[in-house]
Amino acid sequence: MKILITAGPTREKIDPVRFISNHSSGRMGYALAQAALDAGHKVTLISGPVSISAPEGADLINVISAAEMAESVKKHAPEAHAVIMCAAVADYRPAHPLDSKMKKQSGNLVLELERTEDILATLGKNKRPGQLLIGFAAETDDLEKNAVDKLRRKNLDWIAANAVSDGFGTLTNRVTLFHRSGKKTVLPLGRKSDVARDILKEVLS
């Protein structure tokens, strides 16, 4: 199978030296790419800026911003049998990024942010029959309710949910999988490589 995987954070430019981002390490997405390669699949890995090296054998595409990730995902998704959106894509970006470094002024600064495109929701709207769409939900509160909401709202086949404290920026993860049918699979806490293998086994079975 051809599997498209996204990983890591995105960076949203404020000015030439500053950006908005998050703590995603890219490890879960990279582990999924490695597990998919190990299982004999062809892997395209679209990655935000991370400090880990890509698994050998994956077609690696580096992007910086949510807009670049959206463009790349939309280009490669049509040929993918399965798309796994593991990236922590920014939901907002500065509405007016500057080409010159912002000067500090006395008093507070208000930064206007605008929504980025929800890449996964776009894929869900244009899903071709037979294509598997898998999303991730990292939550601090109401994990199951928020995850199942996202599964429905974005028209996904599966969503992999974890508490932010269990998987964000860490070496291990504890994931629960929810299927559109209502099926729920609780995976044990483990190294991201083991969790990745378990996720793939379940969603591709």
Task: Give me the residue label for tokens 């291990």.
Answer: 172
Residue 129, C-beta contacts closer than 8 angstroms, at least 6 positions apart: none
| Tokens 């044990």 belong to residue | 188
Q: Is 136 near ligand C5P (CB under 6 A)?
A: yes
Identified binder of ligand C5P from the candidate list 54, 66, 80, 161, rule CB under 6 A: 66
Interaction of residue 187 with ligand C5P, rule CB under 6 A: no
Give which of 109, 126, 128, 108 is closest to 117, Cα–Cα: 126
Residue 22 appears among annotated catalytic residues: yes
Residue 23, number of CB atoms within 10 A of its CB: 11
The amino acid that residue 15 corresponds to is D
User: What is the enclosing helix (H) or strand (E) of 195?
Assistant: helix 192-204
Q: Does 19 interact with ligand C5P (rule: CB under 6 A)?
A: no
Does residue 166 interact with ligand C5P by CB under 6 A? no
- Shortest separation between residue 105's beta carbon and ligand C5P, angstroms: 31
Among 116, 162, 173, 193, the residue binding ligand C5P under the rule CB under 6 A is 116
Of 52-60, 85-93, 181-189, 193-201: span binding ligand C5P (CB under 6 A): 85-93
Angle at 193 between CA 129 and CA 195, to 5 degrees: 60
CB of 106 to ligand C5P, least distance (A): 35
Residues forming the site for ligand C5P (CB under 6 A): 66, 85, 87, 89, 91, 116-120, 135-137, 150
List the catalytic residues: 22
